[in-house]
Structure 1
């Protein structure tokens, strides 16, 4: 049975139903593989080929929408995602909810907060206990200036997932960024008070960090760093930041270098190490760190590493090299307006 949820303010209906046939989708599969490897232009070419070959409309529009979303083409992404939902012919499944989440993200990034809210309304109409939808709808409401309803959604999200401390921290950050710091801190403190018997050392360290209790945060995070089953990279990154927050870059650098000596495949830690080295005036060391991170080929961190490497060369006075690298960066990330302004500066050096 097809479920249709019509949102009055949307340009088209938000549909929650399943995509069609899985046969004849060679180009679609290639497109999604390119998305997985962050090669979005290649993905878009694959979906264009899929369309020319008459492959599944629901899937190719979904894939094209996701690729466009990742490249910052939010309006086009929304159009494609709506087309995917309109082409659905099966029963509702997880993929359909996932497509709606992408659609809401596109609307949010366009500043269309009411449209994003309506998509979350549709999701919650069928999944009334989806804490993520409540959290994200709260973020959209907060961005639109509706604090009271946003706070109500945040409270509902926490009630449904009281041990999802990552989500609670994101709620804290959203409220704090919009000027509700006291309210945000109270939520974190309540989570800490209620979760002492359930939280891991890493979770306690996270919340202590955001509460401003750096000594406690370091104690919990040092304990977490020595736990056998704890994922170490996020612990190390936050532990180093406790030092950075206090201006103790020697401590932070020691934490990052110790980790890299045992786990040399972390582009995130290389990036953070390089930033600390810039703060200490060790620009050559920073460049080496950023280049080591770039050599790992992590597409999620590549943009930050490239831009930070350029910054380090600027501090060194290597404006010609920085300008050359900026040309490459601008080719790869043409929508970065901040970098575009920086490029104007470099062109005058």
Structure 2
């Protein structure tokens, strides 16, 4: 049975020339209109139009580093990420780090973007650097960066390193159904079915468990490998009842009824 995995000074001027191309300067009075148009497009899910509007807002600015430019760059990075342009999003966070400082928030968000673009080493490095700077472990995007870095480690064949990363986060107070799901999957990769089932169970007890439907499915898989077929059947039937029809789950239910 398979498991489910479910998850802008001078520097600014130079960076923006690279990032958005050489563009003419619009009227500075228009920059707020462009930003507002970008936010509206972003909220509507029109991410390409949002990026274009944010680029126009930056081109219409005075060309000096200020709160406006940083604000627009944050929006642009979000739009790029949501559009699936992870490499461009990471480039925008590069600019933000150069002009606004090495903030844990930016490192977390770049970590996720780098993971999406396939830069697994960069994703891990950003998360680790963020944790060094974020002494209170409360910077925005920390959990997503943790999961991105951990999954990057898993993809590189370092599941044990990923597990160490996850366990350290739990010790520091991180509680997330997604995190426990990843921990359970790491244990399953080592054929530690008891440990896996316990992590999935812990994840299911958290308030955000409904956002991770794979937990029920994966716990059923772990219970089956333990030989607890009735428990596995009950869990798989509960999974279908809660999350709707699932061809793979239906096949497993049919199988488990014969055990």
Residue deviations 1:222-258 (CA, integer Å, cap 9, x gap): 1112313514423322221221121100001111111
Name the structure 2 match of 1:240. Answer: 150
**Is residue 90–residue 110 contact of structure 2 (8 Å, CA) maintained in 1?**
no
CA distance in 2, matches of 1:267, 1:193: 30
Name the structure 1 match of 2:30. Answer: none
For structure 1, the residue ranges without an aligned partner over 5 or more in a row are 1-126, 139-151, 173-183
Name the structure 1 match of 2:19. Answer: none
**Is residue 188–residue 207 contact of structure 1 (8 Å, CA) maintained in 2?**
yes
Name the structure 1 match of 2:52. Answer: 156
Name the structure 1 match of 2:124. Answer: 218
- Distance change >3 Å, CA 276–CA 154, structure 1 → 2: farther
- Distance change >3 Å, CA 276–CA 157, structure 1 → 2: farther
SS at match of 1:163: helix
CA distance in 1, matches of 2:127, 2:182: 17
SS at match of 1:224: helix
- Distance change >3 Å, CA 316–CA 202, structure 1 → 2: same
For structure 2, the residue ranges without an aligned partner over 5 or more in a row are 1-35, 58-71
Name the structure 1 match of 2:81. Answer: 169
Residue deviations 1:140-190 (CA, integer Å, cap 9, x gap): xxxxxxxxxxxx536436536532334322212xxxxxxxxxxx4663464
CA distance in 1, matches of 2:90, 2:111: 13
Q: Structure 2 length normalisation: TM-score? A: 0.65
Aligned Cα RMSD in Å?
2.8
SS at match of 1:298: helix
2:114 is matched with which residue: 198, 205, 208?
208
CA distance in 2, matches of 1:267, 1:191: 30
**Is residue 224–residue 235 contact of structure 1 (8 Å, CA) maintained in 2?**
no
**Is residue 313–residue 319 contact of structure 1 (8 Å, CA) maintained in 2?**
yes
1:39-50 equivalent positions in 2, closer than 5 A:
none
Query: 1:306 Cα deviation (Å)?
Result: 1.1
Are 1:325 and 2:231 counterparts?
Answer: no
Are 1:346 and 2:247 counterparts?
Answer: no
CA distance in 2, matches of 1:278, 1:185: 30
- Distance change >3 Å, CA 213–CA 128, structure 1 → 2: closer
CA distance in 2, matches of 1:264, 1:214: 22
CA distance in 2, matches of 1:313, 1:157: 52
Residue deviations 1:31-84 (CA, integer Å, cap 9, x gap): xxxxxxxxxxxxxxxxxxxxxxxxxxxxxxxxxxxxxxxxxxxxxxxxxxxxxx
Query: 1:294 Cα deviation (Å)?
Result: 1.5
Query: 1:296 Cα deviation (Å)?
Result: 2.4
- Distance change >3 Å, CA 217–CA 331, structure 1 → 2: closer
Q: How many residues align?
A: 198
CA distance in 2, matches of 1:259, 1:155: 34
Name the structure 2 match of 1:230. Answer: 139
